[in-house]
Amino acid sequence: MTVTAPLSVEGVSKSYDGKCVLDAAGLTLVPGEIFGLIGLNGAGKTTLIKIVLDLINADAGCVRIFGVDAANPQSRRFLSYLPEKFQPSRYLKGMEYLSLALSYYGLALDSQKARSLASAIDLDPAVLMRRVGSYSKGMGQKLGLLGAFLIESKLLLLDEPMSGLDPSARIKLKSMLLTAKGAGKTVFFSSHILSDIDEICDRIGVIHDGKLFFTGAPAAFKAKFGEASLEKAFLNAIEQVPAAKTAA
């Protein structure tokens, strides 16, 4: 039986003003895995994510979400996304934001479920009745994550989901991601916190200067670059990757 990949990226390239930002990037996600994307600032991670979401056009290559071309809005029916800089309207109450987010998928908000999940991610359920403008950065991030999880999509796409979270919330988020995996969902997220990536990811993609030069298990990456920690292996690796070519 053929299994449709939650996300397939084939030969995707992108340049800005003659500089190659992505150079023939390719990866395929396996259903029910946690996949982590790592790289320095400006390496091409967010560009790749924006191409997956059809927010920008690739110069070459194709992206499919559950077998549907990413340029087709129907491809995003089974995907929930949290951007790196999550900023909902400050005038909405937390519950109002969640209701709005769910409505885009034709779903109704279960307030009790929202409160229970808020507690699971270390967010006081009482703040859901307050306006977002009164939230701290960490509270706002938890609200965004709460919305992404409540949608219960088959594919979770999270750009720097640990941003602004304290250690307790990070631990609980990792537990929630593993629970999502156990329920058969696929998780694709980027992070600068390599210890978190190493701890929960089945596979990783390592990107540097626009080149997605490694995909595989964290253990395989560490073995390939001769280090016991993912951080040190990453530093060794990027010293060996040639710079992306300049677009003609």
Flag whether 224 is in a domain. Answer: yes
Flag whether 109 is in a domain. Answer: no
Flag whether 211 is in a domain. Answer: yes
Give the β-pairing of 155-159 and 186-190.
parallel
Flag whether 110 is in a domain. Answer: no
Flag whether 120 is in a domain. Answer: no
Flag whether 126 is in a domain. Answer: no
For 31-81, how does the pLDDT look when each residue is reduced to its tens digit (9 = 90+)? 999 999 999 988 889 899 999 999 999 999 999 999 999 999 999 999 999
Q: Is the pLDDT of residue 248 over 80?
A: no
End-to-end, the C-alpha distance of the chain in Å comes to: 43
For 169-206, how does the pLDDT look when each residue is reduced to its tens digit (9 = 90+)? 999 999 999 999 999 999 999 998 999 999 999 999 99
Rounded distance between C-alpha atoms, residue 180 and residue 205, angstroms: 20
For 208-232, how does the pLDDT look when each residue is reduced to its tens digit (9 = 90+)? 988 999 999 999 999 999 999 999 9
Band the pLDDT of 18: cuts 50, 70, 90: confident
Flag whether 164 is in a domain. Answer: yes
Flag whether 39 is in a domain. Answer: yes
Q: Is the pLDDT of residue 246 over 70?
A: no
Q: Quick check: pTM over 0.85? A: yes
Q: Is the pLDDT of residue 244 over 80?
A: no
Q: Which domain holds residue 59?
A: 7-85+154-238
Q: What is the DSSP letter of 243?
A: P
Q: Domain holding 69: CATH number?
A: 3.40.50.300
pLDDT of 88 reads 87
Reduced to 3 states, what is the DSSP secondary structure of residue 241? coil
* Count of the separate structural domains present in the chain: 1
